[in-house]
Chain A
Amino acid sequence: MISVDLSEKMVTGKGNFVDDINLPGMLHLAFVRSPYPRARIKSIKGGITSRDIDMKMASVGEGASAGFEYLEHPVLAKEYVGYVGQPVAAVYSENAYEAEDLVDTVGVDYEPLTAIVDPEKAMSAEPMYPGLKSNILADRYLGEDFQVDAPVVIEGHFVNHRIATDPIEPRGIVAAYDGKRLTVWISTQSVHTIKQGFCEVMKLSPDAVRVIQTDTGGAFGLKGGFYPEYVVAAWLAMKEGRPVKWIETRSEHLLASRPGRGVVGRMKLYANRQGRILGIKGDVIVDSGAFAGGSGEFSSRFIAMQITGPYEINNARIHALSVLTNKVPQGPYRGAGRPEAAFFMERMVDRLADELHMDPVDVRMINATREPFVSPTGLTVEASKPFLEQAVKAMDYNGHRKKGNVGFGWFVLVPATMPGETARILVENRGIKVWLGGTAHGQRHDLFVKSILADELGVDPEIVEWQKGDTDQLKEGVGAWGSRSAMMGGSALVEAARKLREQVEKKYGKYSVARLLDGKWDSYEYFHYDKPYTSLGANLITVSTDRYGRVKVDECISYYDLGKVLNMDNATGQNAGGCAEGIGQTLYEGLMFDQNGQMITSSIADAGVVKATMVPRYRLILHSSESTLPSKAKGLGEAPTIGTPVALSRAIEVATGLRITDTPINPEYLISAVREP
């Protein structure tokens, strides 16, 4: 029996989200944002500006890489603006409506410049900033160059457009300062990232910052990062000695929160006529946006590394490029590079099948590996052929193929395991509290935490309370992202529980639940893990189309290797939500820009978040295995966002005869396949 505290709280409106916090004397913050994608700032009158806060953002959190000081995002724009929505100045009031009014009192004189919008053209365009040599932010080759004598050569150009992360709760923060210590309440995936961000940007000592997580209304990668608005809120709280609140509006979210995807793939695949892939070459071009410090520079390399997927391909040479454009910096969105790699590869494999008039699954089978394999780009793959054979059978691929428009796709999931995770268990007053270094933002870690402690300690799950993040309660931690929580957070918790058992045994000679609960115990564990731990997954989708070219997803089946499932409600929920997001990416979701760099997506509806009428029921079939980690779990969170777009794109190709190269698929393109009867 699993306790449902969190559910009961939410269904009765008793959640405590960041916007629900109201402190005496609180100020409300609002931002003046750039209306231009690229401009020189000639003057600013009014508001808090870079004259007051002359700081640059730190590169912290998921996928962040440092060493780009010159290109780091200024907290408030100084001399230049690089994207529409960039914070230029801040205003505040005791009343949130008035703060919004004050935005109009700030006068900014801009000299607009021609924006660099298309990432492929940006590479040869004039450098975005004075002193910059080119707009290429990261440039690496993965794999050795090769030449093969291949009778079949297929080239493809693919785009995954940018997607707003769009959690239903936008970003937000409340900051307070007591003269000695900054305390912030925040909607986040990692209180530790946020603390690190404050310490680095504002040069605060770790003792002088406490970060407390509020109930977090979804995040999907967005809230693993550290943002300029947070610094301004903290700075103002420290300056005024009053609490400060900032809550993002949805239009601010679309314009100025880091979106995911935004990647171009230019692929060239070499094969023989039997369907054996002899090699793959290509360029991965990430539309990184106007500054470094997001995941933009890391993700091109990460995508390139994964290109070869579950296949035994002995030749691969991928050029990984991250390119500056006049858009908000790119960030992680559920999948974060994994869906892009699978999309580029799986689209090519389907084209190879069509070229050779073979069944797409047969081509996949020919290229799957019987033995564990390390690809030329560095991807570790376990024996994928046995998995594929079982997947095809379990999902009844052949049955579906006879019936209709079926698409199949599979992938290697590379969870963000490194560098491990922390956990703390506190037993007192006959209750158990648990903190994990990565904080749940809607994935219900409370459920698997209860399951693990019921197993490890034999306690009633009812008395186990999962706690939100708080840097005063757990000194170290990483974050909840990259399909890592059940693997890394779960393993840290298992190890902490085992330590606790040992402590009880040491004191009493024998462990018993009664002895545990009679005492006060505090167990902390940093489970270090420095290796990749990949797993396999596959998706099957069937579709039908109507006379307007509209696509209906009829069936959506996942076949995943999850290791030990810690909590089945958790797993089915993660699968369902991820499948819906995969369907969203394929058919509806995208942030679109005009040729001048203005975003033409204006609402959460335009951005394409799927509605209940757009998605089917989902089926999750488990590939049975166990991981060698203490939690025995493997990754899940991002799997459906990788497998769904590839399977769905193929199903649409079968249904329409069209070639799918871009997501979201343009409805005008779909209707072009409709023939008058």
Chain B
Amino acid sequence: MTGKEVSITINGEKKTAEVEPRMLLVHFIREIAGLTGTHVGCDTTNCGACTVIMDGRAVKSCTILAVQADGKKITTIEGLSRTPGKLHPVQKAFVDKHGLQCGYCTSGMVLTSFWLLNRKKKVSEEDIREAISGNLCRCTGYESIVDSIEEAQRNLEKEGGYTEEEIPVRRGR
């Protein structure tokens, strides 16, 4: 199979590689960039464990080909906090509010929450549940995740919001 060269900027770092056209973005992230915090859960875009931020949108990286992500900017869970040793307010909220049990869905949950809280200022519990309805968790029953996202909203308010230039978030649809 002939390869195709793609360059994808992941967490601010440009990765260039020749890949098979059928390679999924999630495998580029995990195998070529070596970032294993992005997980594969279902292969059918249902579970959201593979969620990353691509050019400002939360996307499921198991349903995007690496070649489609050529030239794009990706943020994975490893790149959410840009301050070494310090958790991003959303990450901190998931720790403080016990927003995980096994941890497998967590990267996707955190990134979807990050995306939600950055495109909408005030979110209700209903908004939160709707926003994470594409991310499945089998352990928590979602309650502690909803609590974490509410806490993250408070964290972001306190810290004056999160206006990270490297991680733009598109507003609206």
Q: Which of A148-167 contact B (CB under 8 A)?
A: 166-167
Whether, in the assembled complex, A628 has its beta carbon less than 8 Å from a beta carbon of chain B, the answer is no
Contact of B44 among A15, A250, A569 (CB under 8 A): A250
Q: Is A576 interfacial (CB-CB < 8 Å)? A: yes
> How distant is the Cα of A250 from the Cα of B92 in the complex, in angstroms?
31
The answer to whether A168 touches B49, judged by C-beta atoms less than 8 angstroms apart, is yes
Asked whether A228 is an interface residue with its Cβ less than 8 Å from the other chain, the reply is no
Closest Cβ neighbor of A19 among chain B residues: B40
Question: Are B102 and A442 in contact (CB-based, < 8 A)?
Answer: yes
Pairwise interchain contact A97-B20, C-beta atoms closer than 8 A:
yes
Could you tell me if A168 and B87 are in contact, using CB atoms closer than 8 angstroms?
no
A interface residues with partner B (beta carbon < 8 Å): 4, 6-17, 19-20, 22, 96-97, 166-170, 215-218, 220, 247, 249-251, 441-444, 569, 572-573, 575-581, 603-605, 609, 611-613, 615, 617-618
Residues of B within 8 Å of A577, CB to CB, are: 101, 138-141
- Assembly CA distance A467 to B20 (angstroms): 39
Task: State the Cβ distance, B129 to closest chain A Cβ, in Å.
Answer: 4
**A573 & B98 in contact (Cβ 8 Å cutoff):** yes
Minimal Cβ-Cβ distance residue in A for B35: A13
> What is the CB-to-nearest-CB distance from B7 to chain A, in angstroms, rounded to a whole number?
21
For B46, the chain A residues whose CB sits under 8 A away are 603-605
B140 close to A576 (CB less than 8 A)? yes
B87 A8 Cβ-Cβ under 8 A: yes
Q: What CA separation (Å) do A578 and B140 show in the bound complex?
A: 8
Whether the Cβ atoms of A13 and B102 lie closer than 8 Å is no
- Selected A-B contacts with CB under 8 Å, 17 pairs: A10-B103, A13-B38, A15-B37, A17-B39, A97-B22, A168-B42, A168-B104, A170-B41, A215-B102, A218-B139, A249-B43, A251-B43, A576-B141, A576-B142, A580-B142, A581-B138, A605-B46
Evaluate contact between B104 and A167: CB separation under 8 angstroms. yes
Assess whether A97 is in contact with B23, with CB atoms less than 8 Å apart: yes
Output the least CB separation between B138 and chain A (Å): 5
Residues of B within 8 A of A612 (CB): 128-130, 132-133, 135, 137, 142, 145-146
For B100, the chain A residues whose CB sits under 8 A away are 7, 10-11
- Residue-wise, chain B 104-138 has the 8 Å CB interface mask toward A (1 for contact) of 11110010000000000000000011101111111
Q: Within the complex, what minimum Cβ distance (angstroms) separates A253 from chain B? A: 9
- Given the known inter-chain contacts A12-B77, A15-B103, please indicate yes or no for A617 contacting B37, CB distance below 8 A: no
Tally chain B residues at the interface, Cβ within 8 Å. Answer: 57
Chain B 6-41 per-residue mask, 1 if CB under 8 angstroms from chain A, else 0? 000000000000001011000100110001111111
Known A7-B98, A612-B132, A612-B145; 16 more pairs at CB < 8 Å = A7-B95, A13-B35, A13-B77, A15-B104, A19-B39, A97-B22, A215-B102, A218-B102, A220-B138, A247-B40, A250-B42, A576-B144, A577-B101, A577-B141, A612-B146, A613-B130
Q: How far is the CA of A247 from the CA of B130 in the complex (A)?
A: 31
* Closest chain A residue, CB of each to CB of B146: A612
Chain B residues contacting A575 (CB-CB under 8 Å) are 141
Residues of B near A442 (CB, < 8 A) are: 101-104, 139
Chain B residues positioned under 8 Å from A247 (CB to CB):
40
Q: How far, in angstroms, from A7 to B37 measured CA to CA in the complex? A: 13
Kindly state the separation between the CA atoms of A216 and B133 in the bound complex, as whole angstroms: 23
Complex contacts, A8 vs chain B, CB 8 Å: 87, 95
Measured CB to CB, the closest approach of chain A to B14, in angstroms, equals: 20
Q: Are A169 and B39 touching (Cβ within 8 A)?
A: yes
Chain A positions within 8 Å of B137 at CB level? 168, 612
Q: Are A14 and B47 in contact (CB under 8 A)?
A: no
User: What is the chain B residue whose CB lies nearest that of A249?
Assistant: B43
Distance between Cα atoms of A580 and B129 in the complex (Å): 14
Closest 4 CB pairs of A and B: A13-B37, A442-B102, A217-B104, A10-B103
Instruction: List, in ascending order, chain B residues with CB within 8 A of A10's CB.
Output: 100, 103, 106-107
In the assembled complex, which residues on chain B have CB atoms less than 8 Å from the CB atom of A216? 102
Closest to A216 in B: B102
Interface status of B153 (Cβ within 8 A of chain A): no
B142 touches A615 (CB 8 A): yes
Given the interface pairs A168-B47, A604-B46, the reply to whether A569 lies near B98 with Cβ below 8 Å is yes
Residues from chain A with a CB closer than 8 A to the CB of B103 are: 6-7, 9-10, 15, 215, 217, 442
B95 touches A4 (CB 8 A): yes
* Contact status B41-A12, CB under 8 Å: no
B78 CB within 8 Å of chain A: yes
Asked whether, in the complex, the Cβ of B44 is within 8 Å of the Cβ of A603, the reply is yes
Report the separation of the CA atoms of residues A218 and B100 in the bound assembly, to the nearest whole angstrom: 11
B91 within 8 A of A: yes
CB of B149 to closest CB in A, whole Å: 10
A169-B44 contact, Cβ under 8 Å, with A573-B140, A611-B133: no
Rounded to whole angstroms, the CA-CA distance of A217 and B103 in the bound complex is 6
Contact of B138 among A16, A168, A615 (CB under 8 A): A168
Contact B138 A573 (CB under 8 A): no
> In the complex, are the beta carbons of B78 and A12 less than 8 A apart?
yes
The interface residues of chain A lying within 8 Å CB-to-CB of B38 are: 13
Q: How far is the CA of A447 from the CA of B168 in the complex (A)?
A: 36
B110 adjacent to A11 (CB under 8 Å): yes
**Given contacts A8-B95, A12-B81, A444-B101, are A167 and B133 in contact (CB under 8 A)?**
no
Cα(A39)–Cα(B133), bound, Å: 40
A280 to B143, CA, bound (A): 39
Chain B residue, CB-CB nearest to A15? B103
Cβ-closest chain A residue relative to B90: A11
A604 touches B41 (CB 8 A): yes
Known: A15-B103, A17-B104, A218-B104. A604 touches B94 (CB 8 A): no
Task: Return chain A residues, CB-CB under 8 Å to B141.
Answer: 575-581, 615, 618
Instruction: Determine if B61 is an interface residue (Cβ-Cβ < 8 Å).
Output: no
Specify which of B23, B95, B129 lies most central, judged by the most chain A CB atoms within 10 Å of its CB. Answer: B95
Nearest-Cβ distance from residue A560 to partner chain B, whole angstroms: 15
In the bound complex, how far is the Cα of B35 from the Cα of A8, in angstroms? 16
- Shortest C-beta distance, A441 to chain B (Å), equals 7
How far, in angstroms, from A167 to B136 measured CA to CA in the complex? Answer: 10
A586 to chain B, nearest CB (A): 14
Inter-chain contacts of B106 with A (CB < 8 A): 10-11, 15
Closest to B95 in A: A7
Contacts of B92 in A (CB 8 A): 11
A479 CB to nearest B CB, Å: 16
Q: How far is the CA of A569 from the CA of B146 in the complex (A)?
A: 15
Q: Report the separation of the CA atoms of residues A442 and B44 in the bound assembly, to the nearest whole angstrom.
A: 23
CB-CB under 8 A for A441 and B133, given A12-B87, A13-B107, A604-B47: no
Shortest Cβ gap from A544 to chain B (Å):
15
The answer to whether A618 and B136 touch across the interface, beta carbons within 8 angstroms, is no
**Inside 8 A of A96's CB, which chain B residues have their CB?**
27
| Interface residues as binary, B44-70 with A (CB distance below 8 Å gives 1, 0 otherwise) | 101101000000000000000000000
- A91: shortest Cβ distance to chain B, in Å? 17
